[in-house]
Amino acid sequence: MRFEEKVDLGTEFCGLRLVNPFLLASAPPTANGNMIKRAFELGWGGAVTKTIPPDDMELRDVSPRLKAVRQNNGKIFGLENIELISCRTLSGWLDEIRDIKECFPDRVLIASIMAEVRQDDWQQMAISLQKAGADALELNFSCPHGMPEKGLGSAIGQDAELTTLITSWVKAVATIPVIVKLSPNVTDIGQIARAAEKGGADGLAAINTVQCLAGVDLDSFAPQPSVHGFSTLGGLSGPAVKPIGLRCVAQMAEASRLPISGLGGISSWREAVEYILVGASNVQVCTEVMLRGYGVVKAMKSGLARYLSSKGLSSVEELRGRALPKLVSHASLSREFRVWPQIDQMTCNACGRCVTACRDGGGHALHIIDDQLILNEAACTGCGLCINICDSLHL
């Protein structure tokens, strides 16, 4: 029997039943109905459409609008985008929403929407999309580029009063759950989570991208991605933003009782588990799918099922929030607990990397004597730098 068959990956979000906790985030992989249907065939539990604008909002994307941020080994660990929301308007989406739900009635389809601060626009979009069969609405108060210049996107999610107001407009007409997608580009995400709750939100999602500038070309001085020599601040996604996403979700779980859809830098079942442990009910994925395709969900599902089974758990819900009681104030952390690195002499080749790091960034406690790495315990400050830079040192 496969692990997925032993463990029920099914879960609930705002009263909606998800066959598994993996959703596609609002982004290019959910740009149209055919793409979403192809993803559902491959096993995604749900999808959030690329953010839909009202019919009278004219949008035109620039080219190029993506720039990878790479590690020294060339691996992509972040992706900047300056892409706008869907350039296809509401009317174009309605038939596709109907069609997706007809073909996949057991999958959750969430319509992401964005409009100007006009009550009628938000309410008309909500009414049309719920009539077309969307299972929930996700209010995009969090896109950090392009839209905020016009007072939309993160310009709304950076203002607690506007967040409450627009959420309450949508809630006044919504017969389906309303989820608010929050921006990490705020001073206190807990405050904005509470503002959404005050407006009547049924759930929260975070994070949208982290405002960034991917780089600058050293020859032309053009910021990247360069659109004919010019650029603009964009949004960072992918593995680099996971620590920020986890922090935001933990703070939201602390500040509000609303269920949370967690995202930002999820590339395998492991990061998904981390998000669930800090309070997410389910997770969304964008960049990993853009880089490796819809098929990644297969390993995510089997990995999560295997993990739950190894922990003796039979549902995702049993895992939710289990790390939160262990996240305490700095003052509450033990001052008695102390680590000293253990040196694995079998694998250490005395290259000296840790010695240099400890000398110039630590307590100058590591030395190579007669081709062997030695720790001076009295000088060690217990910072843990060395164990982070070499596998031959551990706790």
Ligand X SMILES: Cc1cc2nc3c(=O)[nH]c(=O)nc-3n(C[C@H](O)[C@H](O)[C@H](O)COP(=O)(O)O)c2cc1C
Positions annotated as catalytic residues are 143
- The reply to whether 81 sits near ligand X by the rule CB under 6 A is yes
Q: Torsions phi, psi of 198, nearest 5?
A: -60, -35
Restricting to residues 247-286, which ones interact with ligand X according to CB under 6 A? 263-266, 285-286
- The reply to whether 112 sits near ligand X by the rule CB under 6 A is yes
Whole-Å CA distances, 33 to 58, 88, 100, 259: 21, 12, 6, 27
DSSP 51: P
- The reply to whether 157 sits near ligand X by the rule CB under 6 A is no
Task: Report in angstroms how near the CB of residue 27 gets to ligand X at its nearest.
Answer: 4
Which of 181, 194, 301, 320 is in the footprint of ligand X by CB under 6 A?
A: 181
Assess contact for 362 and 384: CB atoms under 8 A. Answer: no
- The reply to whether 180 sits near ligand X by the rule CB under 6 A is no
Which of 79, 110, 160, 176 is in the footprint of ligand X by CB under 6 A?
A: 79
- Contact partners, residue 350, CB within 8 Å, separation at least 6: 368, 371, 372, 373
Task: Report in angstroms how near the CB of residue 265 gets to ligand X at its nearest.
Answer: 5
Can you tell me the distance from the alpha carbon of 322 to that of 277, in angstroms, rounded to the nearest whole number? 5
Interface characters, 20-49, with ligand X (x: CB under 6 A): -----xxxx---------------------
Backbone CA torsion sign across 55, 57, 63, 69: negative
Restricting to residues 335-374, which ones interact with ligand X according to CB under 6 A? none
Residue number with CB closer to ligand X (63 or 334) = 63
Task: Report in angstroms how near the CB of residue 235 gets to ligand X at its nearest.
Answer: 7
Total site size for ligand X, rule CB under 6 A: 26
Angle at 260 between CA 257 and CA 316, to 5 degrees: 105
Beta bridge partners of residue 206, listed in sequence order: 262
Applying CB under 6 A, which part among 81-89, 103-111, 157-165, 296-304 lies near ligand X? 81-89
Task: Report in angstroms how near the CB of residue 381 gets to ligand X at its nearest.
Answer: 35
Backbone CA torsion sign across 74, 76, 77, 83: positive
Task: Report in angstroms how near the CB of residue 142 gets to ligand X at its nearest.
Answer: 6
- Contact partners, residue 294, CB within 8 Å, separation at least 6: 24, 29, 38, 39, 42, 44
Which positions touch ligand X (CB under 6 A)?
25-28, 50-51, 79, 81, 83, 85, 112, 140, 143, 181, 208-209, 237-238, 241, 263-266, 285-287
